[in-house]
Structure 1
């Protein structure tokens, strides 16, 4: 019985702290690059070779290269003030860190639209681009 009471008390404390304590940033939204096939049906570009995600707390737009395929991931984004498209490439490889896009401060309530693709030598392979996501700061 004591164990149940302690668990209930712990759950209440954690719940209350969750309401007042600052929360760590977590992805509000994310999108993956598309899989593309060769004409013979084999895979040309893996699905989710590139991943982009947005964290509204701190206005972080990140791009991650998921596959060791030699093709960097690139995130393109537009801001609600009418500017864009902007691009940030992750050329760190699949074992490297995520790369933060320099979005600047996005005013509270404004949106950002982004999509992720893969590419090479500065060329974005449009057929790999995700459909895109709109998220809010």
Structure 2
């Protein structure tokens, strides 16, 4: 899926989430929201892995790293709408999202904000043509991923 397709999908999900919260008498269909967020999170993971793979090379492709970093940064701009009420455990849809996301919304939103800030910094540093600086910021971004996953995501089997 291209970055443009992902962004379009996320905009549609955000619109559905907003429509669901505006129309209190209508119930939000959690399935497309959950599928959309899972797709976006997979795209972030794939882009992060792309940077990882490039940084392992003796001569990483800086244009590829820039593309991946921009994709991560762009996707994080939509993350605040990925976990609306009704898309947690009460939806009866199996996900890796822990109930703490909805039980501790301020803490979760703070973690999302930090992730977005670190993603933005990575996109900026990727323009520097300095693989060392890119790697350092990639590691900082990875720590925010890990911190959020430890608290808000179920362990993989």
TM-score interval w.r.t. the shorter chain? Answer: under 0.3
Decide which structure has greater strand share: 1
More helix by share: 2
Higher-Rg member (1/2): 1
In the superposition, the TM-score normalised over structure 1's length comes to: 0.25
